[in-house]
Amino acid sequence: MRDRPGWTGDTHGLSRTVALPAGRVQLLLTQVERAADELGEHPRTQRTPDGVRFTLQTRSVQAVTPRDLDLADRIDQAVLAVGGGSAR
């Protein structure tokens, strides 16, 4: 996890909560949806009062796979692209 600041979890699942202004949340979700489609992944997303929480796990194996890690990296890039956000 040290290579992915802001993410928590273990080999069974990864999570990151991103605080963003309300006007940027949908933009972030759209970018993440595109990245997930490209990778064939299906992240769980949950809106929070001040942003959004992402949870990654390949459900068929109940574990984190390399594609989940790729998506985590793409989510980090999307967060930067929409204006930063802060990890909690």
Class of domain 8-87: alpha beta
Q: Which amino acid is at 25?
A: V
What's the predicted TM-score (pTM) here? 0.88
Tens digit of each residue's pLDDT (9 = 90 or more) over 5-58: 889 999 899 999 999 998 899 999 999 999 999 998 999 999 999 999 999 998
Q: What is the pLDDT of residue 86?
A: 54
Which stretches does DSSP call E strand in the chain? 8-10, 13-19, 44-48, 51-56, 86-87
